[in-house]
Amino acid sequence: MAEFEFAGITFRGGKIFILLTALSTLGGTSWAAFEFYKDYMDMKEVVANIDVSAIEARNDIIETKLDEAIDYTRDIKSDLRDDIMRVESQADRVESMVRDSQDKVRSMIDNADERYENRRDSLVRDTDAKIKEVEDTLNEKIQLVLDNPLS
């Protein structure tokens, strides 16, 4: 069996394996801590070199554009409201014109019906009068023929 002595301590078999595992873990942890510290220092340098005035200037530009967009949106809203009001007033005007036209057409139809009724009644009276006249004439002739069959 393998044996190893270090600092007056003798290691045999499985203890050698445990010692190697502990040493490799310690080395890996040390290396990871060093890399983490190096990344931290690099990031600290990047953060220290950030140009705050450039960021503030960019934020001011964005804020200005946002204010302009809000104003533009308000203008659009106002214009849309005006357009809707104009369309509603035109719709009301057209509706009024349609009502007036309906009233005129109804009046014209009523007048036409009245004229038709008057004309029909007049024609019926005239026709009845002519029929009565023809009938009277025919009756007289028939009566004359009946009174004097030889004539």
The answer to the question of residue 89 being in a domain is no
Specify the pTM.
0.44
The answer to the question of residue 16 being in a domain is yes
User: CB of 151 within 8 A of CB of 144?
Assistant: yes
CA distance 5 to 94: 111
DSSP state of 49: T
| Residue 18 confidence (pLDDT) | 80
The answer to the question of residue 7 being in a domain is yes
The answer to the question of residue 1 being in a domain is yes
The answer to the question of residue 117 being in a domain is no
* Residues in contact with 19: Cβ distance below 8 Å, sequence separation at least 6, in sequence order: 4, 6, 11
Two tokens, residue 52: 């705050």
CA distance 24 to 30: 10
| Residue 3 confidence (pLDDT) | 74
| Residue 1 confidence (pLDDT) | 58
| Residue 20 confidence (pLDDT) | 79
Q: What is the pLDDT along the chain (151 residues), one digit of tens a residue?
A: 577 676 777 777 777 778 778 889 999 999 999 999 998 888 887 777 777 888 899 999 999 999 999 999 999 999 999 999 999 999 999 999 999 999 999 999 999 999 999 999 999 999 999 999 999 999 998 888 888 877 6
| Residue 147 confidence (pLDDT) | 85
* Residues in contact with 11: Cβ distance below 8 Å, sequence separation at least 6, in sequence order: 3, 4, 5, 19
Domain count, the chain: 1
The answer to the question of residue 5 being in a domain is yes
